[in-house]
Amino acid sequence: MADKDTLFDEKWQAGKLASHYKNIADGVGNHNPATCFFMQLLNKQIAEVENKAKRAKLHHNTLAILGLLFSGLTTLILGLKLSQKQNLGYMQENIALIFSTSATFVAGIAGLLDISNYYFRIKVMYSALKLLRYRFVLDVKESKTGLIPDQIGQYEQQLVAIVGDGYWAGRRSKNTNGKKNGQEQNIIPADLPSSDSDNLKG
């Protein structure tokens, strides 16, 4: 239970939300099978996207740090005042060239994979899926026994719109000048507010 002196206990509230998700997915509360199944589907999809978000963050940060490191070392080596009579001084330009090439290679890999854009999009997708789950649970709680097929169908359409965000279609539609041929599909359905934060809990 949350501390009485704490206005909002984040972990306690997250645990309460998780218990609601589990109860609906497990069929606790006489919810109809379709409602329970869609809750299970939502939980599974969110778990998968969360894992993708963690991997994307690792790849994004690793490439960014390596790029900065190699660039910084290049500047440092070129800025050192070394005597050409010393072995290190003689190799100074060659060492700087190696670091500079490494920085270019890392930047090229990041650009080829479009890792920054993918990282941002996967974070938005993660937040949108959790927001969809919040709304779904609210509607389920209001209905007492679960949602009717038409309501679940509407949530299914929103789920497909979020996970099928048009990212790869947008990548394929870019021409050689880096411009897109037409509008890229939005990651967030029209009735869901977008967010680039992955700090929503639950």
Residue 198 lies in a domain: no
At 102, the pLDDT band (50, 70, 90 cuts) reads: very high
Tens-place pLDDT, residues 46-85: 999 999 999 999 999 999 999 999 999 998 888 877 666 6
Phi, psi of 195 (to 5 degrees): -155, 140
The yes-or-no verdict on residue 152 having pLDDT over 50 is yes
State the Cα–Cα distance between residues 182 and 166, nearest whole angstrom: 12
Residue 33 lies in a domain: yes
Structure tokens at 99: 């670091």
As a whole number, mean pLDDT of residues 115-137 equals 91
Residue 13 lies in a domain: no
State the Cα–Cα distance between residues 74 and 198, nearest whole angstrom: 35
Q: Is the model's pTM score more than 0.75?
A: no
| Cα 79 to Cα 76, 86, 97, 112, distances in angstroms | 5, 16, 13, 31
Q: Which domain holds residue 66?
A: 29-168
Residue 184 lies in a domain: no
Residue 181 lies in a domain: no
Residue 124 lies in a domain: yes
- Which one is predicted more confidently, 175 or 37? 37
Number of domains within the chain? 1
